[in-house]
Amino acid sequence: MNLTEYLVRVVLGQYADLKPGITQRPVFRADTHGITVFDPRTLKTIMVDENAAETLKLIDNESDIACITHALAGKWGMHPVMASFRTLQYLANFQQQGFISLPVDIKVPRPRASGKNIRFSSPVLVSWEVTKTCNLNCSHCASQTMDVRELDTAETLRLMEHLHDLGVFILSFSGGEPFIRPDIFQLLRRARDLGFQIGLTTNGTLLDEDTVQRLRDLEPFNVHISIDGVGEVHDSFRNKTGVFDLARNSLRLLKQYDIPCGITTSITKRNFADLDNIKEFVRQNEILSWEIFFCHPCGKPE
């Protein structure tokens, strides 16, 4: 071991022989003020400089931190001792953000924030109402208040490819009721083939076992079902009896096939008093996420 290698190991200390683990390769996108890094496993996004991105690209579950440091020193044209400090700072940040795993926490001084306003070149996530059509007529929903021509399959696929070219990471499909579209699985399949992470929001009335099995093959990160109350409260929102039971059965099917699922709730004066019942429903059914929205007047009276 020469003097430089010795000094690098002194700087790195207990971390020199550790091998950072990475469970799924992140996606990198050039942005206005740096590189945006997206982790498909956790759906986390951070913006870093080019050197930090280069550090993350070198992590392969095999190389230890000392080897990574020497490789980066050569790429950066920096003395390995100086590269050691920089490498530890980057790795500490990635560890804190959940991009990498190590058996111990890296403790190093964090670099001072630049103070710049971070601006993305394009969205990270796009929520897409792929149809205004629905099989229900909910009292509080705005989906049917606008009479507009919808994109056909070819137009939708072209727009999807445009979003991919922009560098969008996540597509969340909703409506209306997305499963009304006869081409919905063609759209979802194309989204996955392009590399998008996909999510869906549905009223839960059209999910049978065959549909859920097809969904499982697409590996959505989440399927949300709209639940605006328990039992009759939910049905009164939907203006149709038995809809709550259909939604509850859809949640059961999603959980049976290990598809991450959650619920969304729109709050109005009609269901505000039922929030505790919804909370208990979430707890009893071990639902992963509960998104709450507040209604705004937009054309259909509540």
**In the chain, domain spans:** 3-97, 125-294
pLDDT at position 269 is 84
Please name the residues in contact with 85: beta carbons below 8 A apart, sequence gap of 6 or more. Answer: 11, 108
Write out the E strands in the chain. 27-31, 34-39, 44-48, 125-129, 170-174, 197-202, 222-226, 261-267, 289-294
Contact between 29 and 121 (Cβ < 8 Å): yes
Please name the residues in contact with 123: beta carbons below 8 A apart, sequence gap of 6 or more. Answer: 166, 168
Count CB-CB contacts under 10 A for residue 171: 23
DSSP type of residue 44: E
pLDDT at position 207 is 96
125-294 classified as CATH 3.20.20.70:
yes
Segments of the chain scoring below 70 in pLDDT:
1, 110-116, 142-148, 295-302
The three-point CA angle 138-139-144 to 5° equals 65
Please name the residues in contact with 217: beta carbons below 8 A apart, sequence gap of 6 or more. Answer: none
pLDDT at position 238 is 87
pLDDT at position 143 is 62
Domain spanning 3-97: which CATH class is it, in words?
Answer: mainly alpha
Mind listing the pLDDT tens digit for each residue in 262-283?
999 988 888 888 999 999 999 9
pLDDT at position 92 is 92
CA distances to 121, 178, 190, 196, 232 from 160, rounded to whole Å, are 17, 15, 8, 10, 38
The span from the CA of 14 to the CA of 91, in Å, is: 14
